[in-house]
Structure 1
Amino acid sequence: MHSILRSPNSPGLCPGGEFLAGDFSAVYALAHRLKASSLAGASGNKPLLGKNIALLRLRPPEAEMSTLHRAAMDLGARVAHVRLGSPIEPGGTRFRNLSQMLGRLYDAVDCSSLTPAEVRQIEQHAGVTVYDDLESVDHPMRALADLMTLREHGCAPGTNAQIAFLGDPLSKRAGNFFRLARDAGIRLREADPSGTAGDTDFLVDALDADHWVLHAPSGPIDAVECSDNHRFALQAMLLITSVAEGLKTGPAPGDAA
């Protein structure tokens, strides 16, 4: 399971790298407020203005801006795509020098396609917030966004709250989703192999591991809406961690003081 943040003293990480129920509630609440502020047309301030975030990647950026890049930029941060060149041996001088340089230039670093050991070493030498592939499908933020979407369509926690699941329950994304759903008071059950939810109003079709389709009583939920919620979840995670000190418990951008 991907950790939210590698530092053991940071929000969203307990021993073993699991996401806690309290952390889920805080990030979910902030993501919901950020979305409400956006829908209300509140421009607000830019809480990450002056902050620099590096996206450490093995490949050049895609032509289309990534969800994390847009999420950070919309909050006012400057985002740089930093491409790793030839493989650098973790623990070596070059790797340490790279990490220290990242720490001098950026307030936070998001690492993609690196091993957990490499991410930990970057954090150790950089001395800044280091994330482990925040926008990955296997990261808890994706599961949080999925659950946020279903809850907005009426899947409220309670004794009768239930979601049918179709797909591999042992995948990392499914594990994250199950954990967060249980923490929110929502039960899950295996869907009928035909893909029907039976007497359950909500269905997660995870047969395509990278592209889940969420179903509400009205039918399949628009993928654009799911993507938007993922962006708000990422923004909430950036704001609730040390990238934006002083904003952990304050109002969301655009909220009245």
Structure 2
Amino acid sequence: MNTTISSLKGKDVLTLIDFSSEQIYELLAIAQQLKQKQQAGESYTPLVGKTLAMIFEKPSTRTRVSFEVGMTQLGGHALYLNSNDLQLGRGETIADTARVLAQYVDAIMIRTFAHQKIEELAEYADVPVINGLTDDDHPCQALADLLTIYEVKKQLKGIKLAYVGDGNNVAHALMIAAAKVGMDCAVACPVGYEPKEQYVTAAKEAAAKTGATITVTHSPEEAVQAADVIYTDVWTSMGQEQESEQRLAVFQPFQVNSQLMKYAKDDYMFLHCLPAHRGEEVTADVIDSGHSYVFQQAGNRLHVQKAILVSLLS
């Protein structure tokens, strides 16, 4: 497949399942180039006159700031819309909202709950729709994760990534991303909190083409064994607050701590999509250690979002 920027022009970014390995590598290469330009102080504004609508039904620090700053740095404009600004799927149908917004803006980024909502938005919008996060998927985060791993490890194929915790949207996106670039991925979750089968199946299908392995286990030690990268996320996500006490008990054996890290490679790197709860899913001596790259990872959200925006809109 031709992997020039134009091959992605106008494409929706709903899930990395829809992207080829070549397209993912292309986005990572563009992100690297844009990061280098910024670090060198070079101005690059290909999106002058373009507007991105940012719909937030779930609040976020990193997603909002990275998209808004990214769009500004590229010469465009970002329009912030929270759940009080729209009647998405309530007073107005999702289809009508999509059609209306497409009259005004060049792309829509949405951070919401049900994945079906973003699929419907994309179906009816005549402009690219970007998934800033749904309950099922988080493709922008996974791309930033890949970029960070590549910067530190200088490769992706053959790297072993261990994810320990809830089989949530972050786990789903990571499995797909890893499989697409030939990176082994082991996911360790408590019984009843495994990733959705459709994502496991999709990841294994992609892995069969790249030579990667995808494993789901209930043993954190098994997952972390000889891992190059260890990743975790909060145990209770937005919308699950009523389950918090139960989750704290169930996930305690899945805490990422120095004892668990003994199973990893000596030069392991630790990642977390943030915000982190020290003393819950990860201990301070891990996330604040020299093995932790969580702030480089957070910073890479900016460069990945810019790569997506440039690829879809320029």
TM-score (norm 1): 0.70
| Distance (whole Å) between structure 2 residues aligned to residue 170 and residue 95 of structure 1 | 28
| Distance (whole Å) between structure 2 residues aligned to residue 10 and residue 136 of structure 1 | 21
1:10 paired residue number: 11
Matching of residues 1-257 of structure 1 within 5 Å? 10=11, 17-44=17-44, 46-58=45-57, 66-85=65-84, 87-89=87-89, 95-133=94-132, 138-157=137-156, 161-168=158-165, 170-188=167-185, 190-191=223-224, 194-199=260-265, 201-204=267-270, 211=276, 219-241=290-312, 243-244=313-314
After TM superposition, the runs of 4+ consecutive aligned structure 1 residues lying more than 6 A away are 59-62
Distance 1:113 1:149, change over 3 A: same
Deviations 1:80-106 (A, max 9, x none): 11234475547x865544333211111
C-alpha deviation, 1:76, in angstroms: 1.1
Structure (1 or 2) with the greater helix fraction: 2
Distance 1:137 1:202, change over 3 A: farther
Distance 1:137 1:232, change over 3 A: farther
C-alpha deviation, 1:79, in angstroms: 0.9
Distance 1:201 1:87, change over 3 A: same
C-alpha deviation, 1:53, in angstroms: 0.9
Mapped contact 1:135–1:234 kept (Cα < 8 A): no
| Distance (whole Å) between structure 2 residues aligned to residue 141 and residue 114 of structure 1 | 16
Residue segments in structure 1 that go unaligned for 5+ positions in a row: 1-6, 245-257
Mapped contact 1:165–1:203 kept (Cα < 8 A): no
| Distance (whole Å) between structure 2 residues aligned to residue 220 and residue 135 of structure 1 | 29
| Distance (whole Å) between structure 2 residues aligned to residue 185 and residue 61 of structure 1 | 30
Computed over aligned residues only, the root mean square deviation of the Cα atoms, in angstroms, reads 3.8
Distance 1:65 1:195, change over 3 A: same
C-alpha deviation, 1:209, in angstroms: 7.5
Q: Which amino acid in 2 is paired with 1:235?
A: K
| Distance (whole Å) between structure 2 residues aligned to residue 18 and residue 171 of structure 1 | 19
| Distance (whole Å) between structure 1 residues aligned to residue 177 and residue 224 of structure 2 | 19
Mapped contact 1:28–1:144 kept (Cα < 8 A): yes
Mapped contact 1:111–1:132 kept (Cα < 8 A): yes
More displaced stretch, 53-62 vs 101-110 = 53-62
| Distance (whole Å) between structure 2 residues aligned to residue 152 and residue 42 of structure 1 | 21
Residue segments in structure 2 that go unaligned for 5+ positions in a row: 1-7, 187-222, 226-258
Mapped contact 2:48–2:76 kept (Cα < 8 A): yes
| Distance (whole Å) between structure 1 residues aligned to residue 24 and residue 95 of structure 2 | 33
| Distance (whole Å) between structure 2 residues aligned to residue 169 and residue 198 of structure 1 | 19
Mapped contact 1:53–1:80 kept (Cα < 8 A): yes
Larger RCO (CA within 8 A; separation ≥ 6)? 1
Deviations 1:40-99 (A, max 9, x none): 22123x11110011112237887x962211111111111111234475547x86554433
Mapped contact 2:14–2:130 kept (Cα < 8 A): no
| Distance (whole Å) between structure 2 residues aligned to residue 61 and residue 11 of structure 1 | 21
1:253 paired residue number: none
TM-score (norm 2): 0.59
